[in-house]
């Protein structure tokens, strides 16, 4: 199993550009989430999904959209990038079965918005 795969690893955007951060998992996990990590702050939840077709907002959802059309994929869209969205983004997944709540993280995407 590849686990949780995030692409790209690095991205530089100009203010106002849009882009999609990709996240895919091959563990058949129901729960997927997006976090951002900023210096001096803990990871903060952006959006999450408890299954295909179901998404909800986390702590810092503004400026981001998500969708979950399949169990495997959970892309994060930046609609109009702002410098405040410069951060490291992590996708994570977990199962509702054995080992529930244990989260598996992707390698992260480092985003800079100029």
Partner 1 sequence: KNEVEQSPQNLTAQEGEFITINCSYSVGISALHWLQQHPGGGIVSLFMLSSGKKKHGRLIATINIQEKHSSLHITASHPRDSAVYICAVTFGNEKLTFGTGTRLTIIP
> In this chain, which of 45, 52, 60, 82 binds partner 1, going by CB under 8 A?
45
- Compute how many residues bind partner 1; rule: CB under 8 A: 24
Assess 52 for contact with partner 1 (CB under 8 A).
Answer: no
Q: Does 71 bind partner 1 (CB under 8 A)?
A: no
Question: How many Cα atoms occupy the beta-carbon half-sphere of 113 within 13 Å?
Answer: 17
User: Cα(42)–Cα(82) distance, rounded to whole angstroms?
Assistant: 20
- The CA distances from residue 58 to 15, 17, 41, 44, 71, in Å, are 23, 23, 16, 8, 19
Which residue ranges make up the site for partner 1 (CB under 8 A)? 31, 33, 40-45, 48, 50, 58, 88, 90, 92, 94, 100-105, 107-108, 110
């Amino acid at each position: 199993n590849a686990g949780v795969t995030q692409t790209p690893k690095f991205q530089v955007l100009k203010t106002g550009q849009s882009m999609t951060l990709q996240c895919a998992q091959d563990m058949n996990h129901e729960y997927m989430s997006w976090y951002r990590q900023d210096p001096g702050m803990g990871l903060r939840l952006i959006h999450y999904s408890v299954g295909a077709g179901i998404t909800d907002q986390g702590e810092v959802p503004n400026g981001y959209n998500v969708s979950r059309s399949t169990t495997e994929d959970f892309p994060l869209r930046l609609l109009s990038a702002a410098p405040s969205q410069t951060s490291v983004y992590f996708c994570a997944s977990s199962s509702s079965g054995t080992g529930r709540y244990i989260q598996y993280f992707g390698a992260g995407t480092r985003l800079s918005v100029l």
